DNA sequence: GCGAATCTTGTTAACGTGCACATTCTAGCG
DNA sequence: CGCTAGAATGTGCACGTTAACAAGATTCGC
């Protein structure tokens, strides 16, 4: 076999190389007069490299402006340092808070978050997932319990920890950190019944098409079930518009609420609830005297409006943190953590948007 | 410490191999009876592989559940498919919109976004930047014109397109897509003067410590300069609290505004402005009769409150899209695009929070 | 003072893919 | 029927790093 292939021109002549290429660990090692492994050890702060050797290496790194290539490192070590996060959207403050919490927990261990969002679309989910897995994340975090057939299969085959967040699925793939959206709905229903309301309703988005807010739907199921359990009618649960909901959603639903003479309403989200409050203001409908309102999510705006909004609170930043810590546990070598399901719970926050609250 | 680490138990007995390892391109090629290059070509949809060969390969891929390893691909091709995005925070809807726009533009070309956020901290920026560059992004997008000495150096050395967004820097590193925060401030000042207000003020966060909202500060500079240009005093520009601002910020500033008998105020952000409106409601101060308010950002909540908020609007989703398209141009092989500075402009949106608007 | 233990550094071989080139195959032509 | 252009597929390495092990250098104990 005649392999006379030339390696790469060794920058024969002038010293002035104009490297379009970034410096590599070997160039650093040459400059520092050590082997490339010593440089590698210095970078990773590993072992005990002699202080003076370490200093020489650091100087060489600074002089060359060397930045390690994590892709190469990942390949060699089989550890990418990526954690994948899949969200419906970033435009929701609560999901953004989850991302923040996760980052805060993972930053210390030098993991990077790889974020994808699906816009609440199932078909997009699978495409995104395949993309994410090609980056070889060491764990994957996803929202809720809705997965396409193909998605579930890929998840299993990936051989990495899978953590479902936000919604606590009845049958988790593996780990889960979240709260029960179903319980949110039940809590809202119980609360409104205990306050003596007669015509109790709710507003949510409708479930048509590819874009479905499964978590919101779970809340509505819980709400309806709890009403039914007490022999109350559930016909005042109104579904209209589509996810993701916002102020407009509530504003648009308000005429329907008034027309059907509802006196207390549970909104699928604070944003929707705020929309109702605002629309009532515009129409001269008194809140809470004529209409009481309970939201979900405890968004900051709900605290600021008049009257402030009664809501069900979930600490999403803490949820992200907790998820991050779970991941760190799972990824600790040697640690053998069994499947975890963590319920971060929820709190009803009473404010003036419900009649009779001081 | 006796840790006689074992290699990996070789699943001694049964043939039932439970491969902890994911299948590689070579295993696919073996199963399909072709070379690994043919598989590679099929995956990348390259060249013209014979339809029947292609089908065989696709079957093998499906059978094995093969997912390509992009880290290895990146190393070989010197193309990672990453675009880095550095934001102050994700909790701001407008920044989230930028991320969405960017994604929408880049999705088609199969680029992935790598997001980092600095929490408005300069010291964090440099750390994050080093991290990002180690992932070898093909372009980097960052907000504003504030960079530490070290950050600027790394950016230059990276040898990739650098796009600054949101703020249009006086002296861009390379490319820029955004609007002039300075002009935002001037526009607000001109508008309030043209409406005949006498005691014109503003509220922003203070510039103490490591966490500074440079873009907000630019708006205030423009505001003050325009006032001064018309011989107006600028003493009613109030700085308090710290970035990132939200409803609380405006609410807390309101007593100061009232005490100083300001009759029109420009708030650094809609969120802050909404906080003022709400606090006025609570205090029985009539908006806009007693106090007129202009915000910035055109957040959805500003449209919903009563009275709706006059604001300065910038289309952040379009900004993201535009940035994405610029990146695609820059990364097209052969294309030699000169340094671009794109101003996406701004619009004053008149609503009822300013006295005299119908 | 000599072997063993320990500490520090070096050598070699992967990791899984794509590029550049080499080879084989097919069709078309004189 | 041989030759050639072009299409389809294959071969060998390089990408930049880390794991595993090897080899010097130094210290320690008896």
B10-58 per-position pLDDT tens digit: 333 333 344 568 999 999 999 999 999 999 999 998 867 888 899 999 9
Cβ pair B93:A91 closer than 8 A: yes
Q: Given this model, what pLDDT does residue B20 score?
A: 67
B93-113: per-residue pLDDT in tens?
A: 889 899 999 999 998 899 999
All residue ranges of chain A with pLDDT < 50 are 1-18
Chain A CA closest to residue B307:
A282
Q: Which of B101, B135, B136 to mutate to test the interface with A (most CBs of A within 10 A)?
A: B135
The answer to whether the CB atoms of A71 and B136 lie below 8 A apart is yes
Q: Which residue of A has its CA nearest to B159?
A: A20
Spanning CA of A3 to C1' of D12, the rounded length in angstroms is: 9
- The verdict on whether omega for the bond into residue A141 sits within 30 degrees of 0, i.e. cis, is no
Residue B124 binned pLDDT confidence (cut-offs 50, 70, 90)? confident
Distance from CA of B74 to the nearest CA of A (A): 7
A301 contacts in B (CB within 8 Å)?
247, 274, 301
Predicted TM-score (pTM) of this structure = 0.84
Mean pLDDT, all residues of chain B: 89
In the predicted model, is pLDDT for residue B8 greater than 50? no
Length B183 CA → C17 C1' (Å): 50
Nearest to B301 among A70, A131, A247 (CB): A247
Smallest CA–CA separation between B301 and chain A, in Å?
A: 7
Query: Which nucleotide is closest, CA of A24 to its C1'?
Result: D16
Is residue B166 over pLDDT 70? yes
Alpha-carbon distance B105 to B96, whole Å? 14
Chain A residue whose CA is closest to B110 = A131
Give me the pLDDT at residue A229, please: 97
Pick among B19, B23, B71 to test the A interface (most A CBs inside 10 A): B71
Residue in A315, A338, A328 with CA at minimum distance from that of residue A165: A315
State the pLDDT at residue A205.
Answer: 93
The C-alpha of A7 sits at a distance from chain B's nearest C-alpha, in angstroms, of 16
The gap between A1 CA and C26 C1' (Å) is: 28
**Nearest DNA or RNA nucleotide to A73 (CA to C1'):** D17
Strands B139-143, B237-239: pairing is unpaired
Q: Token digits for A34?
A: 């050590």
Does residue B37 reach within 7 angstroms of strand D, measured from its CB? yes
Neighbours of B252 (CB within 10 A): 17
* Nucleotides on chain D within 7 angstroms of protein Cβ: 7-20
Structure confidence at residue B146 (pLDDT): 62
* β A347-349/A310-313 pair status: antiparallel
What are the CB-based long-range contacts (under 8 Å, 24+) for B323-326?
A: B323/B98, B323/B101, B323/B102, B323/B105, B323/B141, B323/B163, B323/B165, B323/B177, B324/B101, B324/B102, B324/B103, B324/B104, B324/B105, B324/B106, B325/B105, B326/B163, B326/B175, B326/B177
Per-residue pLDDT at A6: 38
Quickly give A43 CA vs C10 C1' distance in Å. Answer: 17
The rounded percent of chain B whose pLDDT value lies above 90 is 69
Tokens read off for A50: 């002699």
Backbone dihedral angles phi then psi of residue A310, each to the nearest 5 degrees: -70, 135
């Amino acid at each position: 076999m005649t392999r006379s292939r030339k390696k790469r021109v060794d920058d024969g002549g002038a010293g002035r190389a104009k490297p379009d290429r970034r410096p590599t660990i070997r160039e650093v090692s040459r400059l520092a007069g050590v082997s490339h492994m010593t440089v590698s050890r210095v970078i990773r702060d590993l072992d005990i490299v002699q202080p003076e050797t370490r200093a020489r290496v650091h100087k060489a790194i600074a002089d060359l402006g060397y930045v390690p290539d994590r892709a190469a490192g990942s390949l060699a070590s089989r550890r990418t340092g990526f954690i994948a996060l899949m969200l419906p959207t970033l435009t929701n403050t609560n999901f953004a808070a989850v991302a923040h919490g996760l980052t805060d927990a993972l930053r210390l261990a030098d993991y990077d978050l790889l974020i994808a969002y699906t816009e609440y679309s199932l078909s997009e989910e699978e495409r995104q997932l395949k993309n994410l897995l090609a980056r070889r994340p060491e764990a994957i975090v996803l929202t809720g319990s809705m997965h396409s057939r193909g998605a579930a299969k890929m998840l299993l085959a990936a051989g990495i920890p899978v953590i479902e967040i936000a919604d606590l699925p009845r049958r988790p793939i593996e780990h889960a950190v979240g709260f029960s959206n179903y319980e949110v709905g039940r809590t809202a229903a119980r609360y409104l019944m205990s306050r003596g309301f007669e015509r109790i309703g709710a507003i949510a988005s409708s479930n048509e098409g590819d874009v479905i807010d499964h978590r919101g739907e779970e809340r509505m199921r819980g709400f309806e079930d709890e009403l039914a359990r007490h022999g109350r009618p559930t016909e005042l649960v109104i579904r209209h518009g589509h996810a993701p909901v916002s102020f407009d959603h509530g504003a648009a639903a308000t005429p329907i609420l008034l027309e059907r003479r509802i006196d207390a309403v549970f909104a699928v989200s604070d944003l929707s609830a705020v929309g109702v409050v605002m629309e009532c203001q515009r129409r001269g409908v008194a809140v809470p005297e004529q209409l009481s309102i309970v939201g979900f999510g405890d968004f900051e705006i709900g605290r600021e409006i008049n009257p402030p909004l009664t809501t069900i609170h979930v600490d999403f930043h803490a949820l992200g943190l907790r998820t991050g810590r779970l991941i760190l546990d799972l990824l600790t070598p040697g640690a053998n953590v069994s499947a975890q399901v963590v319920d971060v719970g929820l709190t009803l926050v009473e404010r003036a948007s419900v009649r009779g609250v001081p």
